[in-house]
Amino acid sequence: MDISVVIPLFNEEESLPELYAWIERVMKANSFSFEVIFINDGSTDHSWEVIEKLKSQSDCVKGIKFRRNYGKSAALFCGFEEAEGDVVITMDADLQDSPDEIPELYRMIIKDGYDLVSGWKQKRYDPLSKTLPTKLFNATARKVSGIKNLHDFNCGLKAYRKEVVKNIEVYGEMHRYIPYLAKNAGFNKIGEKAVHHQARKYGTTKFGLNRFVNGYLDLISLWFLSKFGIKPMHFFGLLGSLMFLVGMISVIIVGVSKLYAMYNGLPYRLVTDSPYFYLSLTAMIIGTQLFLAGFLGELISRNAPERNNYQIEKKV
């Protein structure tokens, strides 16, 4: 099979027939063998009934229905597991992503050899309250991930080589950082294509401003896991050792200062009367706790079943 189109959705009953007809028209015009996988993420409208109707009309349609709303990452994870095409295309169900982009995305994967191609909505039909935080979010993501050529990490329209989606785990709200997940899995040929962004035709957006806060926290988590996920002692142990060392040196300085004053007959006060003593003691305690956190992290990591789950490309 040439292409699997994975479409997460939540309350999009009005757009689904039009979206599928558009996808089908593009696929037939280019003689692609394809499947369309709709993941109904706990919709409360009639989206599932629409998917069942589309399934009865075409063998190219597959549907997955969640009992409740789990989020876009969970929907993509299940869609990726189900996908059978050589190239996997993801797009949103709100008709803001154009299926006319599919042939070129497919060509970039098959002919140009990209592992992943991300869409870039250069001209967006979104309010300023959404576009400005998006620009800041993408700039931060580029800096942290090291993927300098992507302008729009969160664009729903993406194309993947099949091996990519079968070797990454999308969880939590990590759908925003699939290019970063792919890079960490060893898929480094990541490209970008400017795509057409359309104004929403039906319904309202399902995303609020809280996603930018959650996105920032997820980015920090992903960065930490990619750097220290299997070696937490390298982070916590080093930081704890440095803090303990600073505290210990500070305590010695406080003690030596009192002894010097006593020896030279200068006025002095008890060590416990000095605020620096308590600051030093606090630094030593925190340093010890950080060191122990790294040690416990190492014990947990050593017993994790995926500790030696390396990405092997070929064997001979």
pLDDT, tens digit (0-9, with 9 covering 90-100), for 253-291: 888 888 888 888 788 778 778 888 889 999 999 999 999
Residue 315 has pLDDT above 90, yes or no: no
Could you tell me the pTM of the whole model? 0.75
161 forms beta bridges with 87
- 290's torsion region: left (phi>0), alpha (psi -120 to 50) or beta? alpha
Strands 34-40 and 61-65: parallel
Q: In terms of domains, do 126 and 270 share one?
A: no
Q: In terms of domains, do 41 and 161 share one?
A: yes
Q: In terms of domains, do 258 and 198 share one?
A: no
Report long-range pairs for 288-291 (Cβ below 8 Å, ≥24 apart).
Answer: 288/240, 288/244, 289/240, 290/236, 290/237, 290/239, 290/240, 290/243, 291/236, 291/237, 291/240, 291/241, 291/244
Neighbours of 176 (CB within 10 A): 25
The predicted pLDDT at position 6 comes to 97
Cα distance between the two ends of the chain:
27
Domain extent at residue 284: 233-302
Domain membership flag for residue 316 = no
Q: Among 191, 212, 228, which residue terminates a domain? A: 228
* Token output for 292: 């122990």
Digit-coded pLDDT (tens) for 14-34: 999 999 999 999 999 999 999
Neighbours of 193 (CB within 10 A): 17
Q: Among 178, 201, 228, which residue terminates a domain? A: 228
Domain membership flag for residue 307 = no
The predicted pLDDT at position 127 comes to 60
| Nearest partner of 159 among 123, 99, 96, 115, judged by Cα | 115
Residue 211 has pLDDT above 80, yes or no: no
Q: Measured between alpha carbons, how far is residue 168 from residues 43, 164, 192, 284 in Å? A: 26, 6, 19, 40
Domain membership flag for residue 126 = yes
Domain membership flag for residue 108 = yes
Digit-coded pLDDT (tens) for 110-147: 999 999 999 998 776 656 556 677 777 788 888 888 89
Q: In terms of domains, do 194 and 247 share one?
A: no
Q: Report how far residue 6's alpha carbon sits from residue 19's, in angstroms, rounded to the nearest whole number.
A: 12
Q: In terms of domains, do 219 and 265 share one?
A: no
Q: Among 188, 207, 228, which residue terminates a domain? A: 228
Residue 149 has pLDDT above 90, yes or no: no
The predicted pLDDT at position 205 comes to 62
The DSSP call for residue 271 is G
Digit-coded pLDDT (tens) for 222-254: 777 777 767 888 888 889 999 999 999 998 988
Looking at residue 166, its amino acid is: K
At 23, phi and psi to the nearest 5?
Answer: -60, -45
Q: In terms of domains, do 142 and 246 share one?
A: no
Looking at residue 255, its amino acid is: G
b/e map of 86-104 (b: 16 or more CB within 10 Å)? bbbbbbbbbbbbbbebbee
The predicted pLDDT at position 310 comes to 53
Number of domains forming the structure of the chain? 2
Model confidence band, residue 58 (pLDDT cutoffs 50, 70, 90): very high
> What integer best gives the mean pLDDT of the chain?
86
Q: In terms of domains, do 115 and 244 share one?
A: no
The predicted pLDDT at position 41 comes to 94
Q: In terms of domains, do 219 and 278 share one?
A: no
Q: In terms of domains, do 20 and 163 share one?
A: yes
More confident position, 11 or 226: 11
The predicted pLDDT at position 199 comes to 67
Question: What is the four-CA torsion angle of 16, 17, 18, 21, rounded to 10 degrees?
Answer: 120
CATH number (domain holding residue 93)? 3.90.550.10
Neighbours of 216 (CB within 10 A): 15
Residue 300 has pLDDT above 60, yes or no: yes
Residue 160 has pLDDT above 70, yes or no: yes
Q: In terms of domains, do 219 and 242 share one?
A: no
